[in-house]
Amino acid sequence: MSYHIQITVNGTVNELDVEPRLPLVYLLRETLGLTGTHIGCDTTSCGACTVLVDGTPVKSCTMFAVQADGCSIETVEALAHGGELHPLQKSFWEEHALQCGYCTPGMLMTTKALLARNPKPSEAEIRRAISGNICRCTGYQNIVKAVQRAAAELSQPAAAAVAD
């Protein structure tokens, strides 16, 4: 049995018929072709699949697409604008905050929500915010540095306009 839903993904409104058992991450990757959101564990442990649902980080492997009816979803694809990387993406690049890049889309979405809520987080607050996102390569140190760098950049008025 399929259900009619309306979800906005990265600003585009989608009217879709979905089976209730379809996890949101599969809708994003397979139905909409947005493969930037990764699947790691597929069972709520790693955070690779983190997207923003109405601005809040959610593990999209652990939410059915039907539950997102009427919601606005933001994925990593929404960050760059016309080839211009988001300050967080630039900082991840500059600070070598990724190696294989598997965790990166989830890290970016979680930290984007953090900076929206708390523009000047302490190191402890950053570490706490990303504690649901597992990285097996970089050792977190550079991820923390990247978030601090992005926070500094975003707190300058000129950069803030680029952020959303």
Ligand X SMILES: Cc1cc2nc3c(=O)[nH]c(=O)nc-3n(C[C@H](O)[C@H](O)[C@H](O)COP(=O)(O)OP(=O)(O)OC[C@H]3O[C@@H](n4cnc5c(N)ncnc54)[C@H](O)[C@@H]3O)c2cc1C
Helices (H), the chain: 24-26, 87-94, 104-117, 123-129, 141-154, 157-163
Of ligand X, ligand FES, another protein, none, which one does residue 77 interact with (CB within 5 to 8 Å by kind)?
A: none
Rule CB under 6 A: is residue 44 a binding residue for ligand X? yes
Please report whether residue 44 would count as binding another protein according to CB under 8 A: yes
67 binds ligand FES (CB under 6 A): no
Residue 70, C-beta contacts closer than 8 angstroms, at least 6 positions apart: 5, 6, 7
DSSP code of residue 56: E
In sequence order, the 6+-apart residues with CB closer than 8 A to the CB of 25 are 37, 39, 49, 51, 60, 61
Among 62, 72, 99, 148, binds another protein (CB under 8 A): 62
One residue of 32, 102, 105, 129 binding ligand FES per CB under 6 A: 102
Min dist. Cβ of residue 87 to another protein (A): 22
Q: List contacts with ligand FES (CB under 6 A).
A: 39-42, 44-49, 59, 61, 98-104, 135-138
